[in-house]
Amino acid sequence: MLARVVSFDGVTKERMDEMRSEIEGSDPPEGLNPKEMLALHDPDSDKVLVVILFENEDDYRRGDEVLSAMPTDDTPGQRTSVARYDVAIHRTM
């Protein structure tokens, strides 16, 4: 499993609430086949960390292409970093 980890600045609570409604009420964009998604928000600093898990390399590559091509007004705030990680441990409780 692979993770695409993206950080954003300038994300207000109102913008996060708006994004939550948009994401929960719709299907992922075409070509995006995530296994899971987690968004962490620090409302005191207006920062967000988004972790999207992909089952395999092909899904990650396609997902990265789709997400990188998204218009900036579709993102929560100003993207400050994008990183790829191998998922070493994944456990749900």
Q: Enumerate residue ranges in the chain where pLDDT < 50.
A: none
Q: How many whole angstroms separate alpha carbon 9 and alpha carbon 87?
A: 24
Query: Maximum CA pair distance of the chain?
Result: 37
At 87 the pLDDT is 97
At 25 the pLDDT is 78
Strands 47-54 and 78-86: unpaired
Domains of the chain, start order: 2-86 (3.30.70)
Nearest to 32 by CA among 84, 70, 82: 70
> What would the two tokens of residue 30 be?
């075409």
pLDDT in tens, 74-89: 778 899 999 999 999 9
